[in-house]
Structures are given as structure tokens and as C-alpha cells.
Structure 1
């Protein structure tokens, strides 16, 4: 993914009650294997894209969950689809789940993070860089 490229991306939850559009530059796209994402999604890993919060236009009711004081996860209030993740260390940014994108080819992950928490039966064979924890250097 080219840094600085402007995108117009749409997405929605499973039932369609929550919809969003993202317009602007995507900071990074990754696949997270941390235990927190596993528990919050019920999946072995979660794909995320990170954008400035001001670039997201969202409609529909969300339930908020605070698994830790500094972390906010939002889900569709109707069907429970995971939509976003926010951390108090980056209040101007939000992570949006890749699985909710209307066009699944709109972006491509550039790395795996928190592979130290990866479930043992999952093999990573896509050739993407792998980081034991969070990789703060995003390109």
C-alpha cells in the first residue's frame, strides 16, 4: 500500500445496521494475533486498518466495550459485529476491522503483529513480516 494514497472505502456490519465510509489516507494495515483481539472477536486473528478518526463517517448504533481502561472496542448494537478499536495513546486514530469492508480487495495487510500470541495451529505462509509484539514503525 502506497503511503499518502487517498482512499474511499465503505463497510458495514453483518446485519447492515452499522455502515461507515472512510475517506483519506490509511496509516497502516495489519493482522493482529494478540490475545485481546482473539477474545474480543472469537477468531484466531483480526485484520485492522488504521485511519485518522476524522476520516470515518459512521452511522448506526454501537455498543462500547472497555476491556482495559485505555482500550475501547465498538460493536454493532444489533448483531455484535466488531467494528473498531481505539487506544487512549492515539486518541486521533481508530482501527477498523478489515472483514467489514465492502470491497475485500481495497487494501492489503503489510504485516502480522503480536505473533507471540498466535494460536499454535495457525501457519503464517503469506510472506508478510511478522512481529512478536506491536510494530510501531508503520509504512
Structure 2
């Protein structure tokens, strides 16, 4: 079954819709993905290039001799990994409007995995809306908490 999902960058300048056949995604731990996202891994959803419709194309930079990455030049959101010669591309999970509906099914690039950041179930958790200092900053700046 094919389903349409939407997404885009933080500022809304770059938006897309994509036809997906499943909700499978993966984590890439390679050093290129770590550096490109500034995270310990890149959470990615592989799709066919022709399945993506861009309202506005992302900007792109050559991130290695074999790939380019799409991003928003205004807000900096990483959006794609695009391997040379591939019929597919990877969209960043965090750029999907309904990112929570995607599920990780694989770890890739595990030669650079940072194990301490993979198994975090035992760490304490807190909600942003329970942080009074951040709430006060949002209310001072916008008059309300973000949606």
C-alpha cells in the first residue's frame, strides 16, 4: 500500500511530499552522517527519488566524492542524503511532519557507532513543557509556548 507523507525544514522554506510503501527507517552511524547532522547518527528514510515532490528544491552540497546532501540554506535543516548513481535518496526522519510514525529497523555504518548513545532507556527523561526556564523564554519571546 502506498501512502503520502509530508515534511520539510524548520523554517518552512523547503517542503516535500513523498509516496512511501512502508514506515521503515534506519540509523546511519558513519562519520560522514555524524558530521553532516551534528548528531551521533543520522535517522534516515530511504525512498525512490521519483516518489519525492519538492515544493521548493533544497540546496545541496557535495559531502563526499560519492554523494551530495540536501539542506535548507536559511535554517540549516539537513534534509537528504543522495548517493551518486542511485535511483533513491534518503530523507531525514526528523524532517517528516509525522516523524513518530517511522520506525528504525536497522543500524548502518556501525564501524563508527558510539555505543553509549545507542542504549539510553535507563536515562532520566524530562519534557520541554515542564522546563520553567525554557517556558519563560518562549513566553517572553512569543507570548506562548510553541505548538
Corresponding residue number in structure 2 for 1:88: 84
More helix by share: 2
For 1:99 and 1:27, locate their aligned partners in 2 and report how far apart those are by CA, in whole Å.
Answer: 13
Matched, 1:30 2:40: no
Residues in 1 aligned to 2:23 and 2:48: alpha-carbon distance in whole angstroms: 8
Structure number with the higher strand fraction is: 1
What is the root-mean-square deviation of aligned Cα atoms in Å? 1.9
Q: CA deviation at 1:27?
A: 8.9
- The structure number with the bigger radius of gyration is 2
Structure 1 pair 53/19, CA: closer, same or farther in 2 (3 Å)?
same
CA contact (8 A) 1:26 1:49 kept: no
User: How does the TM-score come out when normalised to structure 2?
Assistant: 0.74
User: For residues 123 and 70 of structure 1, do their structure 2 counterparts lie closer, same or farther at Cα, with a shift above 3 Å needed?
Assistant: closer
Q: Distance in 2 between matches of 1:89 and 1:26?
A: 23
Q: Which residue in 2 is equivalent to 1:109?
A: 104
Structure 2 unaligned blocks of 5 or more: 122-147
How far 1:24 sits from its partner (Å)?
Answer: 3.7
Match runs of 1:1-139 below 5 Å: 5-26=1-22, 28-90=24-86, 92-124=87-119
Is the CA contact (8 Å cut-off) linking 2:46 and 2:90 kept in structure 1? yes
SS in 1 for 2:32: helix
Figure out how many residues of one structure are paired with residues of the other and give that number. 121
CA deviation digits over 1:39-69, x for unaligned, max 9? 1111111111111111101122522111222
Query: In structure 1, what is the Cα distance between the partners aligned to 2:35 and 2:76?
Result: 14
State the 1:118 CA deviation: 1.4
Question: If the length of structure 1 is used for normalisation, what is the TM-score?
Answer: 0.78
- Counterpart Cα distance in 2 of 1:72 and 1:114: 17
